[in-house]
Chain A
Amino acid sequence: MSLKTRDDLTQLRLKCRDVVKAGGKRILVCAGSSCMSCGAEDVFDAFTKALGEKGVACSLEFELEGDRRAVGVRKSGCLGLCELGVLVRVDPVGYLYTCVKPEDCAEIVEKTIVGGEFIDRLAYSKGGLLCRCQDEIPFYSRQTHLTLKNCGHIDPASILEFISVGGYSSLEKALFEMAPDDIVQDISRSILRGRGGGGFPTGKKWEQVRRQKAEKKYIVCNGDEGDPGAFMDCSLMVGDPHLMLEGMIIAGRACGSDEGYIYVRAEYPLAVTRLRRAVEQAEELGILGKNILGSGFNFRININRGAGAFVCGEGSALTASIEGKRGMPRVKPPRTVEHGLFNMPTVLNNVETFATVPIIIGDGVDAFLKHGTAKSPGTKNFSLTGNIENTGLIEVPMGTTLRQIVYDIGGGMRGGATFKAVQIGGPSGACLTEEHLDLPLDFDSLTRIGAMIGSGGMVVTDDNACMVELARFFMNFTQNESCGKCIPCREGTRRMLEILERVVAGEGREGDVELLLELADTVTHTSLCGLGKSAANPVVSTIRSFRSEYDAHIRDKRCPAGACQKLKRYSIDPVACKGCSKCSRVCPVGAISGKIKLPFAIDGTKCVKCGACVAACPFKAVLAA
């Protein structure tokens, strides 16, 4: 099937909607990365088997023709509440079942699909609150889903389902009702800022590329989401790939480009599969390719896989990598908008930015401006992880406070632990503490306090986390990923890492903190690209907020959080010890001695703090302080 005109697409959409309307119940099994690793595939198979055994007709993909009463079973995009995977949504009622195992599927089919009953046992239930439908769960009811609106509600492998919920209607509008200048103007007026971290106005970028006269221009999508602890873009690419394709095609139309590239991180094989499939489907329907829907506009999209280099998330490194070179950044200017991919003017935006474009064009600028703050309108996706009750993928209006995210949506600290900090923006980001809980999160407010939204990874830590160790962790990451082209980043991060390693090992020296700050200043101001410029952020922010922890490590050789292995002091509780000798047998350095059936003791001068005794003791008598 190939759509030749706009009318063909409209007709197809009406047909798809009819199918949805007439269709029966649907079972959506979350196939986000977390649920997949919990066995979503097995749950999916168990459903089809259970339906078969009950003699209920089922369909595994969207079909225009076919048995309309068949129960649809689909793998959906990420439903967001990753902590409670495997998640299963039953439509049209909107029930959400959590922690579903293959053995639960027969019961769901029998009671819910056939009988229409809800199964309380599988419901979301916390603090006496039992929620049947997804919308009732506080985790969802406090979010605003724009880019995630389809995620978890449609089958991302089917372009027809995307079209049935209004997909590619913004593209229609952009092709047939708007001149390229109108599109750029709308994006400018929406104040859409780059969601990859920098927050550069997207409209400005598009305008700069649009007005250049070049024989070739490129639209590049940065799907190299490298920040550890961030998986928002992955969820979008896997859960609703057509939405970002639509955004890219609109960008091509607006800027006068006929070719796009998507650069996807190597660690996301499922995203690559889904995107390839989505591109194929769009080509088959004539939504990508030559003379799209008879508009005379041509656009094609290539997909490139990364090969494991964090620095390729930087614009000029990314384009170098697409060109088949070492992914190293170059000196700017000239900027990517002038000399980008293959030295041609290039629009480079990230996944979430492109996914927001169809929403602005479709709903109109004014509707978009109603979300978020005046200078940062719209929503932002965050991946909420760490020691928090509800880990997962969330989308909230810009300007939402940290307290709302951690406590209202995130459900507070795991196991009632004490909140300590939120690390936001990954290795380029900073730590937000108690005092920042009521800060409205947007680009400017975070920049003011020396942090950045980054790509949107949020790791919540409780008081068991050592901030010096966290700073060392990020510095180790950045140092590993430094491409080595410029000296401040290559050498500066290495020296900073050495100091941090020394401090967490209890060998810190007086003056180390000052030295770290001095190095941080140099690295920040003299590095070539964003990776180096922001590499010191985690160190500087933890020093600012948790100076006393650094001092405790350096002066008292003590880790206040009790997390640094080398600073632990092990002792044996003489009351709990039964004298079984297990600890002394596993001790690699013979530091534990004693008589059988009498309390043993650890010689602190010999102990290498490996912790083997703690693991070996059946009576929990070895104490670490």
Chain B
Amino acid sequence: METSIDLKVMDGIIDRYETKSSAVIAILQAIQEKWRYIPREAFPKLASRLGLSEAQIYSVATFYDNFSLEPKGKYVIKICDGTACHVRKSIPILERLRGELGLSRIKVTTDDLLFTVETVSCLGACGLAPVLTVNEKAHPAMTPDKASILLAKLREEEHNVA
């Protein structure tokens, strides 16, 4: 992850879109793809480029669930809590992961910025519920134990890289 925000890079991202107000969601999505959250610097930058107020952009960024104003972990784990996953017991998986990582409903990202744990309403893979995703890669038919093993594997990978 890049920690410092290079405004030139941000300008480059904005350049890919038409600078009109209806493009704001697509641009915010592109910014989030780059930094994994919407950095504070994005608001004045977008405001001047799109001719909107910072408040207008903030209102959009805070309305949609997908936008995060806080940095997210390197591994974003999303536990599906759609109906199908819910009736096949997705919550114990969520609790196990939160327990092992010391996270909660409020605190979703570990201090070392490695893991973010959140729920998602439906990933559309209901046939193999319960499902979770790690950075968009889906893992079907999960159990709390399988989730623990997965977490250990991710930690090991991280350890090997470092």
Contacts and interface: CB of A to CB of B under 8 A. Distances in A.
Nearest to B56: A325
Interface in A516-570: none
A83 B125 CA distance: 10
B160 interface: no
B22 A36 contact: no
Contact of B87 (A268, A308, A327, A387): A387
A156 to B, nearest CB: 15
Interface in B112-136: 120-129, 131, 136
Nearest to B120: A267
A34 B128 contact: yes
Interface string A211-251: 00000000000000111111100110000000000000000
Interface in B82-119: 82-84, 86-88
B139 interface: yes
Which residue of A266, A267, A481 has the most chain B CB atoms within 10 A of its CB atom?
A267
Interface string B51-65: 000000001100111
B79 interface: no
Nearest to B61: A307
B122 A34 contact: no
B63 A309 contact: yes
Q: How large is the interface on B (under 10, 10 to 19, 20 to 34, 35 or more residues)?
A: 35 or more
A322 B60 CA distance: 12
Contacts of A169: none
B83 to A, nearest CB: 3
Interface stretch (B6-14, B24-32, B69-77, B151-159): B24-32
Contacts of B28: 307
B60 A326 contact: yes
Nearest to A393: B127
Contacts of B67: 307-308
A391 B59 CA distance: 40
A223 B126 CA distance: 17
B138 interface: yes
A373 interface: no
A387 B126 contact: no
A419 interface: no
Nearest to A390: B127
B87 A267 contact: no
Contacts of A309: 63-65
B23 A324 contact: yes
B87 A386 contact: yes
A465 interface: yes
Interface in A398-444: 423, 426
A200 interface: no
A226 B83 CA distance: 11
Given A36-B138, A307-B66, A391 B121 contact: no
A426 B129 CA distance: 16
Contacts of B20: 324
Contacts of B128: 34, 37-38, 82-83, 85, 391
Contacts of A357: none
Given A82-B126, A308-B65, A229 B24 contact: no
Interface string A464-493: 010000100110010001010000000000
A383 to B, nearest CB: 6
B120 to A, nearest CB: 6
A322 B122 contact: no
A304 interface: yes
A217 to B, nearest CB: 17
A356 interface: no
B124 A304 contact: no
Nearest to A391: B127
A229 B122 contact: yes
A268 B124 contact: yes
Contacts of A227: 122
B54 to A, nearest CB: 15
Contact of A38 (B23, B86, B123, B140): B140
Which residue of B23, B66, B124 has the most chain A CB atoms within 10 A of its CB atom?
B124
B126 A391 contact: yes
Contacts of A376: none
A82 B127 contact: yes
B66 A308 contact: yes
Given A34-B140, A228-B83, A307-B65, 19 more contacts: A33-B138, A36-B138, A37-B140, A226-B121, A226-B122, A227-B122, A229-B122, A229-B126, A230-B126, A231-B126, A267-B122, A267-B123, A268-B124, A269-B136, A328-B63, A385-B84, A457-B83, A473-B83, A473-B86
Interface of A: 33-34, 36-38, 82-83, 85, 225-231, 234-235, 266-269, 304-310, 321-328, 383, 385-387, 391-393, 423, 426, 457, 459, 461, 465, 470, 473-474, 477, 481, 483
25 contacts: A33-B123, A34-B127, A36-B138, A37-B139, A82-B127, A83-B127, A85-B128, A226-B121, A226-B122, A227-B122, A228-B81, A228-B84, A229-B82, A266-B29, A304-B26, A307-B28, A308-B67, A310-B121, A324-B23, A325-B60, A385-B83, A387-B88, A392-B127, A459-B83, A481-B121
Sort A-B residue pairs by CB-CB distance and give the 9 closest, nearest first: A82-B127, A37-B138, A228-B82, A308-B65, A229-B83, A307-B64, A385-B84, A231-B124, A308-B66
